Structure 1
Amino acid sequence: MHALLIVNPNATSTTPAGRDLLAHALSSRVKLTVAHTTHRGHAADLAAQARTDGIGLIIVHGGDGTVNEVVNGLLGDPCPRSMRSVPAGAVPLVAVVPGGSANVFARSLGMAADPVDATNQLIDLLALRRRRTVGLGHCDNRWFTFNAGMGLDAQVCEAVDHGRSNGKLVTPGRYVRHAVRAFFRAKREDPTLRIELPGQEPIEGVHYAFVSNTTPWTYLNKREVHTNPGTSFDTGLGLFAMRTMRVFPSLRVVRQLLTAGLSPRSRSLIRFDDLPQIRIQSSTPIGLQMDGDYLGLRSDVTFTAAADALTVVAPPTN
């Protein structure tokens, strides 16, 4: 099989030695070509060209942003009209060796967080021909692999992206600090969001909303954060939204999110799993993020679940 290894050399946990080890190990299993990204959007261009060239496998060594670019480069931007399978055509298989700070998509697939361990794991998976199909989310003419959101998390992603552009290292601690600052900045603001779900009355008075394509929603180092434990790559989308910014109700929900085995509950919490579609409108433009990438201000976004959209090299589900 001819494979393309797409490497983001600027990702948080990639190193020259690790990249060389990965390429050397993979060369024993596949006919490998290596490409390094040089600018934003480059991974998407490389992936699109790989599909045109008939490459059978794309291996991504980078963070969640690089993975997102590859997926969008492979699948393009047409919005799925239903939960039915997206026609795959000659879309290459996708495999991920973590190279970023959180690596949510790879870890949610069951890949090891350490790049060396994940490399050895991938070699075994290729030898055993392990593959599975996963669902994706779609909104704003883009695909997302694990989560999206409007409001609070988008503000955090915007701040982290700004720090990254100024050379600051991306760490879980930096995300937490930005989240606390964003919460207290937004605490006195009126809710602006209105949510529409299939077959239900619109939900008004919402401050922020997270949309999940799998669980966990994210990781803080080794700690999993589950907003929608019933959501997976094999279901529809999960919704987690809050109708309050008061400190104590918010702290109770945060404690539940960080406690293993607890399912978040609150009178102010709106939570659904397995939704085919979610429409979120805002009375004033509000931030949108997908897979940790801040995309700008939006007033009306529809999130759609697409089943069996991508075939990946990954361990089987338990």
Structure 2
Amino acid sequence: MRALLIVNPNATSTTPAARDLLAHAVSSRVQVRVAHTTHRGHAGELARRAAVEGIGLIVVHGGDGTVNEVINGLLGAPHPDSMSEVAIGPIPLIAVVPGGSANVFARSLGISADPVTATNQLIELLALRQSRRIGLAHCDNRWFTFNAGMGLDAQVCEAIDASRGNGHTATPSRYVRTAIRAFFRNRGTEPTLTVQVPGHDPVEGVHYAFVSNSSPWTYLNDRPVRINPETTFSTGLGVFAMATMGVPTTLKIVRQLLTPGAQPKGRNLFRVDDVPRVRITSSTPIALQMDGDYIGMRTDVEFVSVPDAISVVAPSGV
């Protein structure tokens, strides 16, 4: 099998030593070519070219944003209702060795956050020829792998992107500080969102809403944050929508999110799992994020679940 190793050398936790180890290890199993990204969107360009060339495996060493670029490069623009027109020809198998700050996608698949440990996992999985099919989701004419959101989390992603541009590293503590500032900055604003889920009455007066394709939603260092614990890569989407910015209620929900085995619930929380699609509208433009990347301001977004979209090298049953 021919493989392409796509490396984002600017990702948070990548190092030259880890990259060399990964390239050497993968070359012991498959014929591998290494390509380093040089600009935004480059990973998608490399992946798309690899698919045309008949490459059978793409190994991504970078963060969630690099993985997202690869997925979108391979699949192209989402078809509204199916996978029938998203790509021409076979789609390569995808493997991920984390190199970013959160690495939510890889960790949700059961891949270690440590690049060296993840490299050893990958070699073992390749030797066993172990892979699995997973579902994806899309909105705004773009695929996402683990989550998307409108409102608060998208504002946080926008601020983190700006801080990266100023040379600051994206760390869990920086995310927490940024989220707290964004929360208190928005406390006095009126809710603008309406959430529409098949089989449910429209939910109005929503301040912010998250849409998940897997669980956890994110990680705080080693601690998973689970907003929709029943949502997996094998189910439909999970929806988490808050109709309050009150501090006591928010703190109660946050405690639930950080408690293992908890099922978040509250009078001002709308939460549902395994839905095929969800539409979120806003009376004024509001921020949208996908897989931790700020996309822009939107007023009407439909999120769609697509089962069995791609094959990934990953442990089974995670």
Q: TM-score, normalised by structure 2?
A: 0.98
| Residue number in structure 2 paired with 1:193 | 193
* Alignment partners' CA distance in 1, 2:316 and 2:299: 39
- Alignment partner of 1:92 is 2:92: yes
1:246-285: CA deviations, max 9, x gaps? Answer: 1100010011111111111100000000000000000000
Matched with 2:25 is 25
Secondary structure of the equivalent of 1:304?
strand
Aligned residue for 1:121?
121
Deviation at 1:80, TM superposition (A): 3.7
Tell me, what secondary structure is at the counterpart of 1:113?
A: coil
Which amino acid is 1:256 matched to?
Q
Deviation at 1:316, TM superposition (A): 0.3
Conservation of the 8 A alpha-carbon contact between 1:2 and 1:31:
yes
SS of aligned partner of 1:299? strand
Deviation sequence 1:65-107 (CA, Å, 0-9, x none): 0000000000001234159997784100000000000000000
Q: Which amino acid aligns with 1:66?
A: T
Q: Distance in 2 between matches of 1:86 and 1:262?
A: 37
Matched letter for residue 45 of structure 2? D
**2:255 aligned residue:** 255
Structure 2 residue matching 1:94: 3-state secondary structure: strand
- Is residue 7–residue 61 contact of structure 1 (8 Å, CA) maintained in 2? yes
Alignment of 1:40-59 (within 5 A): 40-59=40-59
| In 2: Cα distance, 1:257 partner to 1:71 partner | 28
Secondary structure at the counterpart of residue 175 of structure 1? helix
Quick check: 1:88–1:310 contact (8 Å CA) kept in 2?
Answer: no
When residues 150 and 140 of structure 1 are mapped into structure 2, their CA distance, relative to the original with a 3 A threshold, is same
Q: 8 Å contact 1:86–1:306 — kept in the other structure?
A: no
Contact 1:86 1:309 in 2 (8 A): no
- For residue 226 of structure 1, what is the aligned residue in structure 2? 226
* Aligned residue type for 2:272: F
Amino acid in the other structure paired with 1:124 = E
Q: Which amino acid aligns with 2:35?
A: A
Task: Please tell me the residue identity of whatever aligns with 1:97.
Answer: V
Residue in 2 that maps onto 1:242? 242
Contact 1:281–1:299 (8 Å) recurs in 2:
yes
How many angstroms apart in 2 are the aligned matches of 1:59 and 1:143?
18
2:312: which partner in 1? 312
Q: Which residue of the partner structure matches residue 162 of structure 1?
A: 162
1:79, 1:138 within 8 Å by CA — same for their partners in 2? no
Aligned-pair distance for 1:202? Answer: 1.3
Q: Counterpart of 2:180 in structure 1: which amino acid?
A: V
Query: Is 2:140 the partner of 1:140?
Result: yes
CA distance in structure 2 between the aligned counterparts of 1:309 and 1:85, rounded to whole angstroms: 12
- Matched residue of 2:169: which SS? coil
Kept in 2, the 8 Å contact 1:85–1:307? The answer is no
CA distance in 2, matches of 1:211, 1:84: 24
- Which residue pairs with 2:285 in the alignment? 285
The question of whether the paired residues in 1 share the 8 Å contact of 2:216 and 2:228 is answered with yes
Cα RMSD for the two superposed structures: 1.4
* Partner Cα distance (1:215, 1:199) in 2: 23
Give the distance between the partners of 1:21 and 1:113, measured in 2 at CA. Answer: 16
Please tell me the residue identity of whatever aligns with 2:300.
D
Query: Residue 199 of structure 1: CA displacement?
Result: 2.5
Change (3 A) 1:231 1:131: same
Q: Work out the CA distance in 2 between the residues paired with 1:83 and 1:41.
A: 22
Distance 1:230 1:157 in 2: 25
Query: Could you tell me how far apart the structure 1 residues matched to 2:210 and 2:89 are?
Result: 31
Partner amino acid, structure 2, of 1:244: T
Find the residue that maps to 2:250 and give its secondary structure.
helix
Match of 1:211 in 2: 211
The residue number in structure 2 matching 1:153 is: 153
Aligned length: 318
Contact 1:80 1:86 in 2 (8 A): no
| 1:70 maps to amino acid | V
Instruction: Provide the rounded CA distance (Å) in 2 between the counterparts of 1:198 and 1:57.
Output: 37
Checking the alignment, whether the CA contact within 8 Å between 1:125 and 1:315 is kept in structure 2 is yes
Letter in 1 for 2:51: R
1:203 CA displacement: 1.1
**Is the CA contact 2:51–2:91 (under 8 Å) kept in the aligned structure 1?**
yes
The DSSP-based 3-state class of the residue aligned with 1:265 is coil
Distance 1:224 1:88, change over 3 A: farther
Gaps of 5+ in 2: none
Q: Which runs of 5+ in 1 are unaligned?
A: none
Distance 1:73 1:85, change over 3 A: closer
- The residue aligned with 1:66 is 66
Mapped partners of 1:79, 1:178: distance in 2: 35
Q: Is the 8 A contact 2:79 2:86 kept in 1?
A: no
